[in-house]
Amino acid sequence: MLHLEWLTSIEQTSHLTNNRLAIVFADYARGKEEQLTRALQFARAHPSQPAVVAITEDFQPAQASSLLKQGVADCLTWPLDVPRLAMLTDYLVWRSYQTPPASAPPSKTTPRPAKGELLVRWPNEVAQRIELLAPQDTTVLIVGETGSGRTQAARELHARSPRRNKPLIVVECMSLSPTLLGSEQHGQAMADTQGVEHHLANRLQAAGDGTLLLEDIDVLPLKLQDYLFRAIERRFSKTQNSELVPLRARIIATTHRGLELKRRAGKFRDDLFYHLNATKLGLPSLTEHRELIAPAVEQSIEQACSRHGGAAPQVDQLAMRAMVAYGWPSNLRELRNVIERAVALCSDGVIQLENLPAVVAKSLSVPRPARRARDGSNLESSRQNAEMLAISQSLAKNGNNRSKTAADLGISRVTLYKKLHKYGFIQLPDGAG
């Protein structure tokens, strides 16, 4: 259930420091501009990193563009459009619960990563393609499963491009779709479509000479795809019946792997699909590159401990083997959440099989072990974990080339294959090994 606090000044927020917050609505009436600035400062410093929504007396495109650049999630006007407010609130609350709150505000000198984003150690072929595409000015379609690091790949493309010092404006298409679908039930589709186009125009204008990131473009309704295609074709209108304005920003879009199926079913425009699909960056799932799992586990542990404090636990050999063998349908996002839970539940400084969710633990076809005595008997487990991590890192460094990996590790290819089988990276044919 949602809890709403009505405050007349930012000074009244002191009792909310330890509360989980999803949204801060700030009145941006004339004479109250400083109130919005302080609301943004409060939101950035708060562990939950809540979204800030500005409420204005009258809508001005230039003003909205400025607010979006400052970090405002959206702009509403009096009188409030209640259906749109409800949909926006639902979406922002849902988004706030996708990740645990941070423990400290971000550094002012380091670009802040997206909420809940896990740093990805890309396979060589992906890292090389990012390096190749970053300096170009072409539209890029990033394709990958849920949690595969699509947003981070987009941010890396922007950060390594000549536009790195310009804005990176994000349009979350998921937040546009429910508003339009809900309005159709009340016979207001046309009016709401114009409102969403207005919102898109503000984002396009805010992007300027920077980068426009269209997240989850596959959920965008057909009625908005036409407007977006015209914008990508380098022209859009800021307001209804206003003159066309050239789009200067670079376009990056992200999608799940089902966009082609949507196009075939007539749910995604052919021209927009082919425009986006001309330059594609495919991201692998964890199951396609199991050598990345162990390094991702180690990194997730470090991040969890940096947020919550305490020493980083080691990982029991069976627990690591279970995580390497598991299918990870939600990829890095799911792995991060599993590690967050395991770090909280583990004792004696070791993450064991019993600290993992049952669905992960049972991916290892061995019985659960009894709890170890506190006698330092985890030496062998630590040695094997170190070996598994060394193999994972060498595979990643050598682009999954097993001959180079074996040479890098100073072992034969036969020995490497046996170890890959032992740790669950591959399955050997019956009778082998």
Every domain of the chain and the residues it spans:
10-96, 124-284, 289-422
Tell me what pLDDT residue 79 has: 79
Q: Is the pLDDT of residue 385 over 70?
A: no
Q: What are phi and psi of 236, to 5 degrees?
A: -155, 160
CATH number belonging to domain 289-422: 1.10.8.60
Tell me what pLDDT residue 10 has: 58
Where does the pLDDT of residue 8 fall: very low under 50, low under 70, confident under 90, or very high at 90 and above? low
d(CA 340, CA 305): 9
Distances in Å between the alpha carbon of 59 and those of 28, 137, 255, 306?
Answer: 11, 32, 31, 42
Q: Decide: 379 and 372 in contact? Cβ < 8 Å.
A: no
Tell me what pLDDT residue 101 has: 47
d(CA 330, CA 143): 14
User: In residues, how long is the chain?
Assistant: 433
End-to-end Cα distance, the chain: 56
Q: Is the pLDDT of residue 137 over 50?
A: yes
DSSP state of 310: S
DSSP state of 15: G
**Residue 141, SS3 per DSSP:** strand
Q: What are phi and psi of 414, to 5 degrees?
A: -65, -45
Tell me what pLDDT residue 338 has: 92
Where does the pLDDT of residue 30 fall: very low under 50, low under 70, confident under 90, or very high at 90 and above? low
DSSP state of 26: E
Q: Is the pLDDT of residue 211 over 90?
A: yes
d(CA 155, CA 212): 11
d(CA 329, CA 324): 13
Q: Is the pLDDT of residue 103 over 70?
A: no
**Residue carrying the six token digits 């589709």:** 189
Determine how many CB atoms are found less than 10 A away from the CB of residue 311.
7
Domains 10-96 and 289-422 are alike in CATH topology: no
Mean pLDDT of 120-134: 80
Where does the pLDDT of residue 15 fall: very low under 50, low under 70, confident under 90, or very high at 90 and above? low
**Residue 400, SS3 per DSSP:** coil
Q: How many whole angstroms from its chain centre is CA 177?
A: 19
Lowest mean pLDDT among 92-96, 115-119, 232-236: 115-119
Nearest 10 degrees: Cα torsion 84, 86, 91, 93 = 150
And the tokens for 180? 């339009």
Output the average pLDDT for the chain: 75
Q: Decide: 13 and 43 in contact? Cβ < 8 Å.
A: no
Where does the pLDDT of residue 351 fall: very low under 50, low under 70, confident under 90, or very high at 90 and above? very high
**Residue 381, SS3 per DSSP:** helix
Q: Decide: 346 and 305 in contact? Cβ < 8 Å.
A: no
Tell me what pLDDT residue 377 has: 46
Q: What is the pTM of this model?
A: 0.56
Where does the pLDDT of residue 367 fall: very low under 50, low under 70, confident under 90, or very high at 90 and above? very low
Tell me what pLDDT residue 21 has: 75
Mean pLDDT of 220-244: 71
Angle in degrees, CA 418, 423, 424, rounded to 5: 95
- 249-267 b/e (C-beta count within 10 Å ≥ 16 → b): bbbbbbbbeebeebbeeeb
Tell me what pLDDT residue 54 has: 84
Mean pLDDT of 94-103: 53
Mean pLDDT of 180-203: 54
- As to burial, measured by CB atoms within 10 angstroms (0-12 exposed, 13-18 middle, 19+ buried), residue 18 is exposed
Share of the chain above pLDDT 90, in %: 14
Fold of 10-96: Rossmann fold (3.40.50)
Between 428 and 34, the higher pLDDT residue: 34
* Short-list 336, 384, 379, CA closest to 360: 336
Mean pLDDT of 268-297: 86
**Residue 48, SS3 per DSSP:** coil
Distances in Å between the alpha carbon of 173 and those of 93, 228, 332?
Answer: 16, 11, 22
Where does the pLDDT of residue 292 fall: very low under 50, low under 70, confident under 90, or very high at 90 and above? confident
Angle in degrees, CA 430, 432, 433, rounded to 5: 135
Tell me the sheet residues that pair with 356.
Answer: none
**Has domain 124-284 been given CATH number 3.30.70.3270?**
no
Tell me what pLDDT residue 270 has: 93
Q: Is the pLDDT of residue 71 over 60?
A: yes
DSSP state of 347: B
